[in-house]
Amino acid sequence: MKTRKVGSWYEITIPKEWSTYTIDDLLRNVWKAPKKMIHQFRMENKVKINGLSVNWNQLLIPGQTLQLELFSSQDNEVVPAFYDIPVLYEDDHLVIFNKPAGMDTHPNEPHQSNTLLNAAAFHLQANGELLQPRHIHRLDRDTTGAVLFAKTAFAGSLLDRLLEERKIKRTYLAITDGIFSKNKGTINQPIGRDRHHAVRRRISPTGQTAITHYEVLRRQQKEQQTLVRCQLDTGRTHQIRVHLSSIGHPLAGDVLYNGSHSFPRQALHAVKMELVHPFTNEKIVCHAPFIDQPMIFKNIDPYSI
């Protein structure tokens, strides 16, 4: 699909396959944008064709230019702060960072400025993009790896939907205590808050549905540890940590869930992210190199996962 950014506008050359759609169809049924946002676009005249306002119920004509005002400058609610965070992928609509350990994904209190969201805000500002980044998902403070941010509210709404529909695939690597007997399996156990601990989560019949698929990649007999690949159907707080601990294999270094003191943090890394771009339909595959010093994940190629 032929697209480009021109100032605050996003331009798309209308493809043949959109000839049966109206603007309303495209926003409501193809992109499935929120009703409130569609109403805002209509009221503020943020959608044009060839520079002109048009009837939203007329069929689109292939070859013409559809224009959406997506990149208007915004007052950033987050304090921009410089941190040297590796960028795994970036375009006009989204950016994927490789989060280090010891950093929250977003502020948990007013004026907090040492999070990945603050770093994302600085990154956009330094590039001359006066936009407000939005995290699409989170990683725990001491979990490393790929985290996805939207640059605009519209991209954020489309990426939120993809995440909800399980169309953003995230793969994790974990080192657990103990040697797994099974090569692969699925843990389908609901997760809720632990009433006796402010931070911990636990398996709970009244908790939220949580599904984790795991596969053994390497049994490390000498260390009595197992390297495991995990993929999630859901994204509950501490999901992998709770689930693996529940089957007797807590993450090495995860003392909150009875893991050993093998590492200075839980051995969990979001190594791979896959999604189809919400506008261009291109497949994006990102691998996140290991950034711990000293290294936790040794003798494994993150690009092979």
CATH number at residue 52: 3.10.290.10
pLDDT for the residue 108: 86
pLDDT of 110 above 90: no
Let me know if residue 273 belongs to a domain. Answer: no
Assess whether 193 and 233 both reside in one domain. yes
DSSP state of 129: -
Please check whether residue 262 lies inside any domain of the structure: yes
Are both 55 and 105 inside the same structural domain?
no
**CATH no. for residue 144?**
3.30.2350.10
What do you get for the CA distance between the two ends of the chain, in Å? 29
* 182 and 159 within one domain: no
Is 179 in the same domain as 133? Answer: no
Residues of the chain above pLDDT 90, percent:
93
Residue 74's pLDDT band, with cuts at 50, 70 and 90, is confident
What is the reported pLDDT for 81? 95
The Cα-based distances of 261 to 217, 252, 254, 266 in angstroms read 22, 7, 7, 9
What is the distance between the alpha carbons of residues 17 and 167, in angstroms, rounded to a whole number? 22
Structure tokens at 286: 């990102």
Catalytic residue among 25, 92, 140, 142: 140
User: 241 and 219 in one domain?
Assistant: yes
Q: What does the pLDDT read at residue 231?
A: 97
Confidence of residue 76 (pLDDT cuts 50, 70, 90): confident
Q: Over pLDDT 70: what percentage of the chain?
A: 100
CA atoms within 13 A on the CB side of 145: 24
Predicted structure pTM score: 0.94
The answer to whether residues 158 and 295 belong to one domain is yes
User: So what's the pLDDT on residue 30?
Assistant: 94
Mean pLDDT in residue range 252-264:
97
The reply to whether 156 and 180 lie within a common domain is no
Considering the domain boundaries, does residue 75 fall inside one? no
- Helices 35-43 + 153-164 axis angle, to 10: 160
Do 44 and 121 reside in the same domain of the chain?
A: no
> Average pLDDT of 128-142?
95
Strands (E), 91-190: 94-99, 134-135, 144-150, 169-177, 184-188
Planar angle of CA 65, 19, 90, nearest 5 degrees? 50
Q: How confident is the model at residue 113 (pLDDT cuts 50, 70, 90)?
A: very high
Give per-residue pLDDT as tens, 268-296: 999 999 999 999 999 999 999 999 999 99
> What is the per-residue pLDDT for 14?
97
Q: Which of 79, 139, 138 is closest to 114 using CA atoms?
A: 79
Q: Which domain holds residue 201?
A: 171-266
Q: Are residues 262 and 175 in the same domain?
A: yes
214 assigned to some structural domain:
yes
| 195 and 61 in a common domain | no
Residue 284 domain-assigned (yes or no) = no
- Final residue of a structural domain among 43, 69, 95: 69
Count of domains in the chain? 3
Residue 75 — pLDDT band, cuts 50, 70, 90? confident
Identify whether 56 is part of a domain. Answer: yes
Predicted pLDDT at 77:
81
Are 150 and 295 members of one domain?
Answer: yes
pLDDT computed for residue 184 by the predictor: 97
* Whether residues 193 and 254 fall in one domain: yes
- The whole-number average pLDDT for the span 90-97 is 98
Please, which pLDDT band fits residue 212 given cuts at 50, 70 and 90?
A: very high
Does the active-site annotation cover 104? no
Average pLDDT, the chain: 96
